[in-house]
Amino acid sequence: MTTPSEYPTDDKGSFVKWRNRIIGGLILAAVLWLTYVILAAFIPRWWAQRIAEMVGGGFGKGIWYGLILGIVCTAVPLLLLLSSVMIWKKRAGRFIAGAMAILAIVTAVPNLMTLTIVLGNSNAAHAGERILDVDAPGFRGACLAGAIIAAALFALVAFLVVRRGLRRHRAIKERSAPEKQSAPAQKSAEPATAPDPGGL
């Protein structure tokens, strides 16, 4: 039988547990904020310089590299996420789905870094825009066009996959429905047992 003196101890233990969680959450939020500030001041300019080195100031190269990065770095992450959703409920599916999700984030990094230049308001983002305008003309527009093309292709693939799954589910339902209907019919069709003449 528990005594009343035990309850304050339990309350104190839960308070300490929640206090530690809150402190850990605040520390994690501070670390993430500092990481974002450092990366926001570094990545846009660095990524713009890498793109400028690849393109070399050529308009055609800027469009070509923009289309490739836009299509690949949009289509591959979306397809990986779709695959992870499809295998989530299968055996060992959660582990594989988690690995696919991480891989999807990694493959989307080039597009995300380009977004830090296009949507950013920091000095590094503005410097990255100037670098791309001079040394990688056409890259940003082509990257956006590639992302739109990849999103449209992904929507088509997702539609086909979902339609196939619905058709398969409907076929399984239709196949199981006659079996359920024939089972009661077979029971009712069984002849009743005749009375034993010897028992009369």
Number of alpha helices (DSSP H) and beta strands (DSSP E) in the chain: 6, 0
For each successive 10 residues of the chain (200 residues), what is the average pLDDT?
A: 51 76 88 80 90 90 94 94 85 82 91 88 89 92 94 94 84 71 55 52
CA 45/CA 127 separation, integer angstroms: 6
Residues 128 and 45: beta-carbon distance below 8 Å: yes
Residues 157 and 86: beta-carbon distance below 8 Å: no
Whether the model pTM is above 0.85: no
CA 114/CA 119 separation, integer angstroms: 9
Give the model's pLDDT for residue 200. Answer: 45
CA 115/CA 47 separation, integer angstroms: 11
